[in-house]
Structure 1
Amino acid sequence: MHKLLFIFLLGLACTSVTRGQTKCDKTVSGKVLDIASNEPLPYVSVRVTETNTGVVTDQQGNFNISGLCEDEIHLEFTYVGYKKVVHHHDFHHDIPTILMAEEQIALEGIVVEGEQVRGGTKTLSPEVFRISELQKFGNADMADLANVISGLSVVNTGQNVQKPTLHGLSGNRILLIQQGIRYEYQSWGDDHAPGIDPGSSSSVEVIKGAGTVKYGPEAMGGVVIFNPEPLGLHQPLKVTTQLSGHSNGKGMGGRISAQQGFDHWSVMLNGSGNIHGDLSTPDYLLTNTGKKVWNVGTGVLYHKANTDIEAFFSHNNQNLGILRGSVTGNLEDLAFAMGASEPLYTSDFSYLINTPRQEVVHDMASVKGTYYQGGHVFDLKYSWQLNQRKEFDIRRGANNELPSIDLRLTTHTLDFNWDHPVWNGLDGESGLSWLYHDNDNQPGTNTIPFLPNYNDSRFGVYAIESKKYGNQTVEMGLRYDVQFTSIRGRQINNNPYYNDLVFQNLTASLGYKLKMNDQLDFNTNLGTSWKSPDVSELYGFGKHGAIIQYGLWRYEDSGESNINTSTILDQTSKPVNNEVGYKWINQLKWTGDRSDWIISGYAHVINNYIFATPRGITTTSRGAFPYFIYRQTNALIAGVDAEMSYMISKDMTITSNASFVYARDTRYQNYFVEIPPLNIHSQLRKNIKGKWLNHHLELDLSYTFQKKFTPGVITPEDILEASANGDQLFETSEEIFDFMSAPTGYFLVDLGWETSWKGYSLSLKAENLMNNTYRVYTDRIRYFAADTGINFIISIKYSL
């Protein structure tokens, strides 16, 4: 160990820069774009304030200044009719892209210096989307992001609970990163949504390849990165406020953010809130679908010489109503509710949030130190998270005011990353990671906990290297993880049980990029990924929401009419293997003068895929219920993503994206439920520049097809009839089924208008302008109600 440390330090010393004398051989280059149109700005004045020297950008908005002596400089960008931008630049940072805003619009200029979360694969570029494009019409949510990023969709439990889905995988199979750290929550539940406010971020990056090598387990489907607002030095005070209201749900929201940069410090503060009452479809109200959400966040940057220290904190508080008519007492009630013309228990509009509901509080804090030396970049980051989840179901008597699930998840992470300079043509990074979970049930629910208490400790080490060969790039990555899990739970008879588990896996990736010409790139990436069995998949027991489920180690199945749930199994009596995925993704990317397009195709094979399937009927005090058991199978998920952007004229652009996903159980030849259907979305944007005001128009058109390749349908009536006849409908069948056929396709139209003058902007938008009635296949409320009808949004924004 001492020898390895000596060799590492010796290598660092050999590549370090000698400080004895200052060389005037530094060069800074970059690109200047219009923040609204993303078009290059020619003839922008770029000045180095320390030397008062400078250049102007060329026709493509590029600039290059050489012969610089200092390690840190200040760049000033000025252009007639645009707001001045001042940028503090360190030469160990990436090439900057300057986004300038016109004087008449409310947006402020920003600087982007490469990926804010380093380590995205060099052979498969992430898709990046600026949140400001969505925020002009009020608070953005996960569904808004899904409309503009191909391959990204959401699985809903109504409008309030939205889980991102990437290439057909969601929950603990895709990784969310906020403030540069893994976002940890109770991701195992189908109706557990992350408490992330997209509006508090500056941009979203989506990595669609298997991201396990860089980010560790649970990134099987990919990674969604929410980048915070960059903290810039030498920046004047910037304050932005926004108020919005929307007609559907009679809701209102607000947002405020402030940021200022000094010589060595930069600080940021933001806050937002959103409230609405019962939502409505074109035909009826959706009782108990109100929402109350508020968020606060702050960040601090300290910069000195070759060192950056950043600290972030955020707090998210959610009180989410679930449609009252979606909770039924037994199969007879379920059959009646699914056939009703409107949801059961529909009442007059209200802002009250009754049961069923969710209360979720998420706190996150992190501190990161970055040290730059001789082309090396060293990152050391610690984070702490606290996720508190309470779920309130429809219960009898005083228990109705008590949560049926009350979980407290505490997470600690520590990550070290080393990004080394190019050495013998190799460009890459390596790192170490540690994660600790403490998930505990809180007392006072008066019910048997669905999950036992548990602790996770996970250690990982990885390395990624790439090398260029002319117009080709080859990349390889390798990672090893080991996880220790300690279980502490109680059986029905209150006897305790314990278990200690160890999971480990080696993952790898291989990528290739070919730059065919100045416009066309081809990328391919083959990667493995893995996920250990989740505690809920092993030990889940009893009723969660409206479903009764049993984890893999909470039942014995002898093939008879009923299963045995009185014993607790383990790895010896019933082996359960890691999920292991093999994903191959190919991408063709064209970048032209007026058009850009990307086409991606992928195939993902997952061995030992864990999911819940129906097994039989159980009788409770409320009546008969179907119950579900977890089991393992092999899965194939394949699909195509396509994106296109075409500049019709200088002021008019059309963008389109489409996604198709195919998923199948290859062991039992079944199709899976809640896989997103084919969707095509197009947007036409028009900018109108006036003498005093600027106008922006948006027309959004989307068509979602009826889902094909779906499992068979077994209605509640079918189950009741089989039960009455003594037929064991699920005894020997391995078939996946759905309670209802996939809904028909639907067409939606949104229309938006924004006008701006200096620091003010006013926007109006109509969603579902045609007030169509439709149901979403990936929304679990579709069994009981249609989706929301027309919604008018007004937003007023002011930037100081």
Structure 2
Amino acid sequence: MKQFINVLLLFLATNLTAQNNIEGVVFDSQTNESIAYANIFIPQLEKGTTTNDDGEFIIKNLPSGNYKILISYIGFETFSKTVNIPLKENLQIALIPSFIEMKEVIISTPFHKLQSENVMKVEQRKISDLKAKGAINLAEGITNIPGVAGVSTGISISKPVIRGLSSNRVLVYTQGIRLENQQFGDEHGLGINDAGIESVEVIKGPASLLYGSDALGGVLYINPERFALENENETNVNLQYFSNTEGLSTNVGYKTSGEQFKFLIRGSFAEHADYNTDSYRVTNTRFNEKDLKAALGYQSLQFKTELRYNLNASKLGIPEEIGVQNLNKSPLLPYQSIHNHIFSSKSKFYFEDSSLDVDLGFTYNDRKEFEEHHHHHGEHHEEEAHEEEEVLDPALQMKLKTFNYDIKYHLPVLGKFETIVGVQGMHQVNSNYGEEQLIPNATTNDFGVLATSHIHFEKADIQLGARFDTRSLKVVGGLEKDFTSFNGALGIKTNLANNLVARLNLATGFRAPNLAELTSYGSHEGTNRFEIGNENLLNEQNFQTDLAIEYKTDHLEIFANGFYNVINDYIYLSPNGEIINDNPVYLYLQEDATLYGGEVGIHIHPHPLDWLHFESSFETVTGNRSNNEFLPLIPANKFKNTLRAEFHLESVKKGFAFVSLNTTLKQNNISDFETNTSGYNLLSAGFGGELKLFKNSLHLQVTGNNLTNKKYINHLSRLKSDGIYDIGRNISVSVSYTL
């Protein structure tokens, strides 16, 4: 062992890199005028700065090697270039004026490129943009992304649906590790607060090559808040009020960075009363949430690491019927009490012409559900809030502990080839402590090995890769199952003509059956079903074809994304006509299925009215079983239209105003245990901007959603079967102050 350590230290010592600086100047390509306060960022090193009044910048203490540098400024195209450090001469960077939004590096794909350079189509949205549209929480905000919807239980519980697939078919990553919090349940939400989140990325389609099982339908990748730039610190306070629920969401954060050490911390609190539909308040949709995020980073020439921790504690009412009408914010019975702990470690080792990523994570999800008959102090009165939680025993309590690892080695670049090899794995233990049991005590182990390459040609880029996975599942005192799968992906990006880019991706994906599908036998109170599992279920295996075409000029963008997804052995629930414990019996069955559809859209910002933007999109998904019957929980077709203005005044910076009309069509393509859903139109509008207050930045925005107070029901609402409307008119006011 000692000899091994000596050899490793010798290897590292011979590959250590020298200390370097890069300097340059940024200017307007049309006027040759310098650009002050442009953002300079090296994403692989997470180091950056801004230009001074003369457009000059310098970044010190950089290791040798090839790194991408990004330069961005409002009103200009984001500049991207791979540079070899040490530089032979200073950089002279000319930014091209553009009224298209600045682009960020895509983190969810392994080669960390701008979307314009990416072979795979990935949607990215900043949290600030989603909140500007009045979203109450993160789960609601992501439904504004084309191709993304949500299965919801009121406003507090929602889970992502990507092109008709959800639950364990959509993998969620946060802090660089996979989120594990009993995603199998229809009424189990994300459990992530949007405070301390930088942006969200969505991979629409199988991503098993990169992430393994459960990424069959896509990936929701949540990027945490960045550290402050070197030798800078920042404090900000954010407050948001929601009229419909008389809800309040607030968070306070502080971050500071030196030359080597970085630190940030952010705490938040939110609470909401039952939401209003104009006709009634939906009883027990109230909830409250506390969230803490902290991070510590260290960076030297050869190594950088960051440790992050997130504690999310939420208390969520589970609505059953329309009853008490008040504005209390403490949930009634039944309700969920959830504590979610996420620990992550992301480290990177730099060698002369290669690098090694080591990401480790541990999540601890403690989920409790409380019901009426578990109250020990007499009869429960529904008007009472549960201030003394100790008088209750949970009817259901599950503790899920998950350790996962992701190790990737970036090989030296060989000509046109960038290559990554790696291993990923997970060890997971589920334990029950309540009187009821949805899924048994069990242990799951995953292991996967992968290799992927990005090949650069003059007129095209190709990305390809392969992966092998194995999963073993052991139920305490019972079932033992093993699943394996081999998957691959091939993609090409090319310019068909000037300003016309095409991306074609072919990929396979898989999903091993989860514990609920294999072992369930009992009433699932949250869904009012008696579910019976099937231990003979096989892997779901799919093959998807994606074609994305994008036309882009200075004042016009047009995109069209189409997909065709064939899933073998698709797992679904189906009623068998029996009744047990007053609940209908549902069985887990398998049948081949097909999903197809896509998104098209246009973005116009006409000259000379470059401040004016018109965006319109349409999205559609159809899902069929092999017998031509429709799959359940397929979102209805949607049109989204937005007219947006951006302005900069002497007293108001980054000003904006918008009006949106979202049209959801009828959903008549339903499974045999669903009902039709009517179409509806929702009108929204908002405005905001940045002001100076005591020489610091104050961001103010006001947004109104469902301004006509339309009564409607989303097809993916779990309250639909009871005829309960979705949320009515809601006005939100948001204030953010930065010191």
In the alignment, the residues of structure 2 paired with residue 72 and residue 635 of structure 1 have an alpha-carbon distance, to the nearest angstrom, of: 43
Q: How does 1:716-795 map to 2 (within 5 A)?
A: 736-738=672-674, 741-758=675-692, 759-784=697-722, 785-795=724-734
Q: 1:99, CA displacement in angstroms? A: 4.3
Q: 1:513, CA displacement in angstroms? A: 1.5
In the alignment, the residues of structure 1 paired with residue 214 and residue 507 of structure 2 have an alpha-carbon distance, to the nearest angstrom, of: 14
In the alignment, the residues of structure 2 paired with residue 354 and residue 459 of structure 1 have an alpha-carbon distance, to the nearest angstrom, of: 42
2:398 to 395, 407, 415: 407
1:176 aligns with: 172
**Matched residue type, 1:190:** D
Whether 1:609 and 2:566 are equivalent positions in the alignment is: no
**Matched residue type, 1:289:** T
Contact 2:611 2:646 in 1 (8 A): yes
In the alignment, the residues of structure 1 paired with residue 698 and residue 540 of structure 2 have an alpha-carbon distance, to the nearest angstrom, of: 52
Contact 1:88 1:232 in 2 (8 A): no
2:435 aligns with: 446
> Structure 1 303/619 Cα, relative in aligned 2: closer, same or farther at 3 Å?
closer
Deviation per CA, 1:584-611, whole angstroms, max 9, x where unpaired? Answer: 1111022211122321100111111111
Contact 1:31 1:98 in 2 (8 A): no
For the aligned residue pairs, the C-alpha RMSD in angstroms reads 3.4
2:185 aligns with: 189
In the alignment, the residues of structure 1 paired with residue 564 and residue 121 of structure 2 have an alpha-carbon distance, to the nearest angstrom, of: 18
1:337 aligns with: none
1:715 aligns with: none
Contact 1:32 1:98 in 2 (8 A): no
1:96 aligns with: 70
1:797 aligns with: 736
1:208 aligns with: 204
Unaligned runs of 5+ in 2: 77-100, 113-117, 381-391
2:541 to 565, 573, 580: 580
> Structure 1 524/32 Cα, relative in aligned 2: closer, same or farther at 3 Å?
farther
In the alignment, the residues of structure 2 paired with residue 167 and residue 467 of structure 1 have an alpha-carbon distance, to the nearest angstrom, of: 29
> Structure 1 88/591 Cα, relative in aligned 2: closer, same or farther at 3 Å?
farther
Deviation per CA, 1:478-498, whole angstroms, max 9, x where unpaired? Answer: 00111111101xxxxxxxx41
**Matched residue type, 2:342:** M
In the alignment, the residues of structure 1 paired with residue 347 and residue 48 of structure 2 have an alpha-carbon distance, to the nearest angstrom, of: 23
In the alignment, the residues of structure 2 paired with residue 183 and residue 218 of structure 1 have an alpha-carbon distance, to the nearest angstrom, of: 11
Contact 1:243 1:796 in 2 (8 A): yes
SS in 1 for 2:330: coil
Q: How does 1:348-497 map to 2 (within 5 A)?
A: 348-395=326-373, 398=376, 401-442=392-433, 445-447=434-436, 449-488=437-476, 497=477
Contact 1:485 1:500 in 2 (8 A): yes
SS in 1 for 2:428: strand
2:618 aligns with: 658
Please say which of residues 206-215 and 130-139 is displaced more in the overlay: 130-139
Contact 1:317 1:360 in 2 (8 A): yes
Q: 1:152, CA displacement in angstroms? A: 0.9
> Structure 1 140/301 Cα, relative in aligned 2: closer, same or farther at 3 Å?
farther
> Structure 1 236/149 Cα, relative in aligned 2: closer, same or farther at 3 Å?
same
Whether 1:690 and 2:649 are equivalent positions in the alignment is: yes
Q: 1:389, CA displacement in angstroms? A: 0.8
Whether 1:269 and 2:268 are equivalent positions in the alignment is: no
Larger Rg: 1
Whether 1:255 and 2:236 are equivalent positions in the alignment is: no
Unaligned runs of 5+ in 1: 34-38, 48-56, 65-70, 103-109, 326-342, 489-496, 554-569, 712-735
**Matched residue type, 2:717:** D
Deviation per CA, 1:674-693, whole angstroms, max 9, x where unpaired? Answer: 11000111222213333323
> Structure 1 354/541 Cα, relative in aligned 2: closer, same or farther at 3 Å?
same
1:681 aligns with: 640
> Structure 1 704/187 Cα, relative in aligned 2: closer, same or farther at 3 Å?
same
SS in 2 for 1:642: strand
Q: 1:506, CA displacement in angstroms? A: 0.7
In the alignment, the residues of structure 2 paired with residue 749 and residue 111 of structure 1 have an alpha-carbon distance, to the nearest angstrom, of: 27
In the alignment, the residues of structure 2 paired with residue 681 and residue 164 of structure 1 have an alpha-carbon distance, to the nearest angstrom, of: 18
Whether 1:152 and 2:148 are equivalent positions in the alignment is: yes
> Structure 1 748/416 Cα, relative in aligned 2: closer, same or farther at 3 Å?
same
> Structure 1 650/478 Cα, relative in aligned 2: closer, same or farther at 3 Å?
same
1:730 aligns with: none
Q: 1:138, CA displacement in angstroms? A: 6.5
> Structure 1 321/179 Cα, relative in aligned 2: closer, same or farther at 3 Å?
same
Whether 1:544 and 2:518 are equivalent positions in the alignment is: no
**Matched residue type, 1:548:** R
SS in 1 for 2:634: coil
SS in 2 for 1:135: helix
So what's the TM-score if we normalise by structure 2? 0.85
Q: 1:268, CA displacement in angstroms? A: 1.2
> Structure 1 427/41 Cα, relative in aligned 2: closer, same or farther at 3 Å?
farther
In the alignment, the residues of structure 1 paired with residue 299 and residue 510 of structure 2 have an alpha-carbon distance, to the nearest angstrom, of: 38
Count matched residues. 679
Q: How does 1:26-37 map to 2 (within 5 A)?
A: none
Contact 2:273 2:285 in 1 (8 A): yes
In the alignment, the residues of structure 2 paired with residue 183 and residue 591 of structure 1 have an alpha-carbon distance, to the nearest angstrom, of: 36
> Structure 1 485/95 Cα, relative in aligned 2: closer, same or farther at 3 Å?
same
In the alignment, the residues of structure 1 paired with residue 26 and residue 548 of structure 2 have an alpha-carbon distance, to the nearest angstrom, of: 25
Q: 1:474, CA displacement in angstroms? A: 2.2
In the alignment, the residues of structure 2 paired with residue 501 and residue 373 of structure 1 have an alpha-carbon distance, to the nearest angstrom, of: 41
> Structure 1 207/374 Cα, relative in aligned 2: closer, same or farther at 3 Å?
same
Aligned residues with identical type, % of pairs: 23
So what's the TM-score if we normalise by structure 1? 0.79
> Structure 1 144/29 Cα, relative in aligned 2: closer, same or farther at 3 Å?
farther
> Structure 1 458/62 Cα, relative in aligned 2: closer, same or farther at 3 Å?
closer
Deviation per CA, 1:662-705, whole angstroms, max 9, x where unpaired? Answer: 00111x32112211000111222213333323442121210000
> Structure 1 619/225 Cα, relative in aligned 2: closer, same or farther at 3 Å?
closer
> Structure 1 410/41 Cα, relative in aligned 2: closer, same or farther at 3 Å?
farther
In the alignment, the residues of structure 2 paired with residue 518 and residue 31 of structure 1 have an alpha-carbon distance, to the nearest angstrom, of: 26
Q: 1:42, CA displacement in angstroms? A: 7.0
> Structure 1 468/615 Cα, relative in aligned 2: closer, same or farther at 3 Å?
same
**Matched residue type, 2:640:** H
**Matched residue type, 2:735:** I
In the alignment, the residues of structure 1 paired with residue 326 and residue 514 of structure 2 have an alpha-carbon distance, to the nearest angstrom, of: 41
2:584 aligns with: 626
Contact 2:604 2:613 in 1 (8 A): yes
Deviation per CA, 1:78-123, whole angstroms, max 9, x where unpaired? Answer: 359x9x9986684644222334699xxxxxxx99873344516942
Contact 1:206 1:225 in 2 (8 A): yes
> Structure 1 456/186 Cα, relative in aligned 2: closer, same or farther at 3 Å?
same
Q: 1:763, CA displacement in angstroms? A: 2.0
Contact 1:31 1:62 in 2 (8 A): no
> Structure 1 753/89 Cα, relative in aligned 2: closer, same or farther at 3 Å?
farther
**Matched residue type, 1:483:** R
2:386 aligns with: none
Contact 1:31 1:96 in 2 (8 A): no
2:291 aligns with: 295
**Matched residue type, 1:744:** S
Q: 1:425, CA displacement in angstroms? A: 2.2
**Larger RCO (CA under 8 A, 6+ residues apart):** 1
In the alignment, the residues of structure 2 paired with residue 756 and residue 76 of structure 1 have an alpha-carbon distance, to the nearest angstrom, of: 19
Contact 1:30 1:98 in 2 (8 A): no
